[in-house]
Amino acid sequence: MVLMRLGSGLAAVLLAILLVHVSAVSAQTVVGDSIAESLSHSAGDPLRGRAIIVNRQQGLCLLCHNGPFPEERFQGNLAPELGVSVGSLSAGQLRARLVDPKHFHPDTIMPSFYRTEGLTRVAAKFSGKPILSAQEIEDVIAFLLTMNQTNSSAAVITTTAP
């Protein structure tokens, strides 16, 4: 009897943890034009963010965008240059656009990098999984903010860092 209660209590705790994890990925709410709170509650790293942006298997950004990445060949031309896309957007505005770009442009081909619900034509092995983790989103935002706080040469400067 005691083991049975312990087992059902453990199952309830595991279910609660699972539900919190799932809702953490899908429950980001755009207020106005931004998501104010960090997804990971940790500061983003601009060097990691830059690496994600130029990685064609992870961030996928350069498939459509181009930017000040002289070492990267064959940058995209389907979407605006990243510096133009970033403009003078805040961290919260960038976060909202990475989490749910269709909220702002329903016909965009830009994927949702974090939202996992309400998507169409997602392969079964990717269903329910974000493209980027919460920390990776924050890292990308940290890098993009370097582009709008100074100028697009900030992207080139970061390539020399260790």
More confident residue, 28 or 122: 122
Residue type, 122: V
Residue 57, in any domain of the structure: yes
pLDDT confidence tier of residue 27, bands split at 50, 70 and 90: low
Q: What is the mean pLDDT of the chain?
A: 81
Q: How far apart are the first and last CA of the chain?
A: 59
Identify the pLDDT of residue 149.
63
Adjacent-strand bridge partners of 143: none
Residue 11, in any domain of the structure: no
Residue 112, in any domain of the structure: yes
Q: Give the structural domain span for 81.
A: 29-160
Please write down the long-range contacts of 28-35, taking CB distance under 8 Å and 24 or more positions apart.
28/95, 28/99, 28/100, 28/114, 28/115, 30/96, 30/99, 30/100, 30/103, 33/93, 33/96, 33/104, 34/90, 34/92, 34/93, 34/95, 34/96, 35/92, 35/95, 35/96, 35/99
Is the pLDDT score of 20 beyond 90?
A: no
Identify the pLDDT of residue 94.
96
pLDDT confidence tier of residue 162, bands split at 50, 70 and 90: very low
Residue type, 16: A
Residue 136, in any domain of the structure: yes
Cα–Cα dist 60/83, whole Å? 16
Identify the pLDDT of residue 121.
84
Q: Give the CATH number of the domain where residue 43 resides.
A: 1.10.760.10
Total number of domains in the chain: 1
Neighbours of 63 (CB within 10 A): 12
Residue 6, in any domain of the structure: no
pLDDT tens column, 90-141: 999 999 999 999 999 999 999 999 988 888 888 888 889 999 999 999 999 9
User: What mean pLDDT do residues 146-155 have?
Assistant: 61
pLDDT confidence tier of residue 4, bands split at 50, 70 and 90: low
Tracing tokens 């997602």 back to the chain, one arrives at: 122
